[in-house]
Structures are given as structure tokens and as C-alpha cells.
Amino acid sequence: MFTDLNQELLEVKDNLRKKAKYEEHIERLSTYLAEEKRKKIQLESLLEKEEDDVARLEGFTLTSVFYSMIGKKLEKLDQEQKEALVAKLKYTEAVETIQDVEQELAEFQALLAPVANAPVRYEKIIREKEKLIHDSNSVWSVKLFDLADKEADLQTNLNEYDEAIDAGQLALHALERALSSLDSAKGWSTFDMFGGGMVSTAMKHSRLDEAKAHIHQAQNKLRVFQDELLDIKHHFDSTIEVGGMLTFADYFFDGLIVDWMVHGKITESYDQTSQIIGRVSRLLGSLKGQRNQMEEALLSVKEEKKNLLESSN
């Protein structure tokens, strides 16, 4: 009876945690999805405007004639093309992010269903506890149940930390892949400067394409990591700002677009990526340290519970 109820308590506590976690994630994702859809509409409008600007300059229009007369048509066209490309890439990123978030929402909604009745199960355990505590033939006591309850809380907190650490590791791996792509692009750009020709230029842009894809993945993983950190905010005491994880991905993506146009800034993106890798690594170190302390506390509670059971026999 003791083993069964203790195991059920562990399971139901974890299900209570999961239920609250999934509901919070669904709420945050729904808000984020609405924001991204609004952003997509704005970017779509901006993209149409930028493409129209390029078309006017490329065609025989009043604007085109004006800039030809003052000798700045090519310079102006180059600027308009850059702005159109920036708008296009931002719009594409918004579309891809919406797809990611919609998939995550569906996954969390599916995960929520099996744990929806956790509060009912927990109330049942509480009633069972009261009954056993007052049963003279039962090993249960108020002290023993408190220890079992504390064990369950610590175990669910450990699970929360494990999930945050796993999410951080995935974000770190995505950033490292982006760093590798940028490093390769840097190398091909250097070769290009010394007459590498069309082959090196093509290879440079291929590596930047890879980096763009990896940055998108990293942006998504960083957002998931941020959500996991919010789940443990009551235990989290690192000085690194959680919100900065998401802000970084937004401004870095903008920076990467500029790097497509200006060779000299590939190095800057590489350095920025290295910096955020350092931040995530330090954050993971802090989480792992706190997790280890919590695991020690759990072992202590288990030992105390074991001693109490042995003394009651």
C-alpha cells in the first residue's frame, strides 16, 4: 500500500506540473502566434512596397529618369534592391515562425489531454492520506506523508530543470551549427577577395544560406528555451536575463541579412554568435549547478523517509 500510494503521489504531482506547464505554454504560444501573424501582414505590405520601388527604378518611369539624370540610378537601385531583399527575408522568416508555432501548439494541446484529470486524482490521494494517517495499522504518519510530498515536489522540480537543460542544449547545438556555417562563409569570402571568382562567391552564399537556416532553427530553439526558463522562474536565480534570449534572435537575423550584402560584416555576425553561445553555455552551467543541489536535497529526503519507515517497523 505504501509503495503504491507513494508512486501514485509522484506521478500525480508530475502530472499536475505538466498540466500547468502545458496550459501556460499554450497561452504564451497563442499570444506569440497572434503577434507573428500581425507582423506577417505588416511585412507583406512592406515587401510589396519595396518590390514596387525596385520595379519603378528598373523600368522607364519618372523616378527612373530622375535618378538617371542626376547620375545616381545604379546607387539608388542597389539600395532599393537591398531593402527589398531585407523585406523578403523578414517576411519569409515570419511565415516559417508561424508554421513552427502552430506545430508546437498542436503538440502541447495533444500532451494536455492525458493529464487533464490530474487535480481529481490528487484530491483522491489526499483523501486516502487522511484515512491512512488515522488508521492505527498503517505505517503512514503526518511526518511520513510530508516527506513523501516533499519528495514528489523535488522530483517534479528536477524534471522541470531537466527539460530546461535539454532545451538549452538544443539551442546551443543550433547556434554552433550557425557558427560553423558563418566560419565557412568567412573563409570563402577571404578567398573571394583574392580572386576566387564565381565559384568562391557561390560557395560563400551557399554557406550563408546554411547559416540563415541554422539561425532560424536557433531562433526557434531559443524561444523554446526561454519558455522552459519561465516554467522554473520561481527557482531560477541567474543574473542572465531570460528575455534576452528571444530578443537576440530577432536582432541577429536582421544583422545576418546585412551580412549578405556587406562582406566585412560576416565577421561581426560570427562574433555575435560566439557571444550568445557563451551566454547560453553560462546559463546552462548555472541550471546544472542548481539541479545538482536539488538532486542532493532529494536524496536527503529519500534517506530520511527510509529511516522513518525502518523505525516504524
For 141-313, CATH number out of 2.60.40, 1.20.1280, 3.30.70, 1.20.1330 equals 1.20.1330
Which pLDDT score, from 0 to 100, does residue 308 have?
Answer: 80
E-state strands within the chain:
none
Sign of CA dihedral 199, 257, 40, 76: negative
Angle between helices 73-112 and 62-69 (to 10 degrees): 130
User: 159 vs 15, 19, 113, 284, 313, CA distance in Å?
Assistant: 11, 14, 19, 15, 32
* First-to-final CA distance of the chain: 15
For residues 15 and 118, is the Cβ–Cβ distance under 8 A? yes
Q: pLDDT (tens digit, 9 = 90+) per residue, 171-199?
A: 999 989 988 887 876 665 443 433 444 44
Averaged pLDDT, groups of 10, the chain, 313 residues long:
78 92 93 94 90 70 50 61 77 89 96 95 86 72 84 91 94 89 65 41 58 80 85 60 52 53 62 84 88 92 84 64
Any idea how long the chain is?
A: 313
Local structure of residue 55 (DSSP, 8 states): H
211: nearest Cα among 278, 279, 273: 273
Sign of CA dihedral 49, 55, 56, 57: positive
Residues 6+ apart with CB under 8 A from 297: 154
Prediction pTM value: 0.76
Name the percent of the chain lying above pLDDT 70: 71
User: 308 vs 1, 5, 148, 311, CA distance in Å?
Assistant: 16, 17, 11, 5
**For the chain, domain boundaries:** 1-138, 141-313
